[in-house]
A and B are shown apart, each in its own frame.
Chain A
Amino acid sequence: MLLDLVVVVLMVCGLLLFLATTVGLLRFPDFYTRVHAAGKGDTLSTVLMLGGLIIYLLRDFNGETALTAVKLSLIVFFVFIASPTATHAIIDAGYESKVPYWTRRKGAGAGYDGPERRRQDRQI
């Protein structure tokens, strides 16, 4: 009973974080900030939801559920490697193709300092 409560709390926390991620994806102003919301809100929420599932599984402990729990932990491990890598690949592609980014002071488009600026860096 108490264990059920822990499972429910973990799953609800994970769902709330996913909700915040989705709302951020829709509300944020430009490509880069949306990638922030989309790509990374899922790290903690995945851990919470899969953690809840693992506890739920292990209530009746036997070889089969233990194996499934190990598989779920492996999913967490791979998400922690794959999610930042994919986020980085998307945002680097945006930077490379000179997607302008939104800044508070200058508004959309004015804040871009892409490859031109980098060439400058190298000369110094």
Chain B
Amino acid sequence: MAAVVTFCVMFAFWVVMSGKLDLFHLGMGVMASALVSWLSRDLLFSGHTKTLGGTLGEIGRFLRYAGWLFWQVVLANVHIAGLSLSPRAMERIDPRIIRFKTVLKTDFARFVLANSITLTPGTVTVRIQDDTFYVHAINPQAAGDLAGDAVGGPGEMERWVAWIFEGGKR
């Protein structure tokens, strides 16, 4: 099943990239996609045992999160651009490594959170050790409430990711 889905994704990608719809090129595409999806059948959708409805719900929630995340990327990008062009840049940066324990359980949810943190300018996920995220932030404003909100719960981005994949409220 996973191999079939992988094959469809690969073949769609082939068609878009080649742009030629004659038998020769499509045949090459089928062979190449079949080979790749057989070799990497356990990579793209490994251990995906959820129902179709659950997956669709995840995709829908993820798209709403993508909208929010894009706005955060815009805000943070403007902040960092202003920082690096500022005459007093050295006074305004205050780099530090932030540690926080995550509430996320699955690897994929952690991957999404780590990539979102890195995508937002001003913060980079250095590593995840056991349950602890190590995040390098260029100054406290860039970090925001990443390490936890005012009452010690998870930050806003982590609440979003938890809402997508593990239920719970945003």
Q: Is A59 an interface residue (CB 8 A)?
A: no
Q: Provide the residues of chain A in CB contact with B55, threshold 8 Å.
A: none
Partner of A91, one of B13, B94, B136: B136
Q: Provide the residues of chain A in CB contact with B129, threshold 8 Å.
A: 118, 121-122
Shortest beta-carbon distance from A18 to chain B in Å:
10
Q: How large is the interface on B (under 10, 10 to 19, 20 to 34, 35 or more residues)?
A: 35 or more
Cα–Cα, bound, A92→B136 (Å): 10
Report yes or no: A23 in contact with B124, Cβ–Cβ below 8 A. no
Q: A95-B126, A121-B132 known; A43 and B95 CB under 8 Å?
A: no
Q: Is B23 an interface residue (CB 8 A)?
A: no
Interface residues of B in 1-35 (CB under 8 A from A): 13, 16-17, 19
Q: Provide the residues of chain A in CB contact with B122, threshold 8 Å.
A: 36, 40
Q: A23-B85, A71-B17, A103-B95 known; A17 and B77 CB under 8 Å?
A: yes
Q: What total of chain A residues lie within 8 Å of the partner, measured CB to CB?
A: 45
Shortest beta-carbon distance from B39 to chain A in Å:
20
Q: Is B40 an interface residue (CB 8 A)?
A: no
Cα–Cα, bound, A67→B85 (Å): 38
Shortest beta-carbon distance from B50 to chain A in Å:
21
Report yes or no: B80 in contact with A37, Cβ–Cβ below 8 A. yes
Contact digits for A71-105, partner B, Cβ 8 Å, 1 yes 0 no: 10010000011011101100110010000011110
Report yes or no: A81 in contact with B81, Cβ–Cβ below 8 A. no
Report yes or no: B119 in contact with A41, Cβ–Cβ below 8 A. no
Report yes or no: A33 in contact with B93, Cβ–Cβ below 8 A. yes
* B interface list, Cβ under 8 A from A: 13, 16-17, 19, 73-74, 77, 80-85, 89-90, 93-97, 114-115, 118-122, 124-127, 129-130, 132, 134, 136, 138
For the A-B complex with A17-B77, A43-B119, A122-B129 known, give 13 more contacts whose Cβ atoms are closer than 8 Å. A21-B81, A21-B84, A24-B89, A29-B93, A36-B122, A39-B124, A40-B120, A41-B84, A43-B77, A44-B74, A88-B126, A92-B126, A121-B132
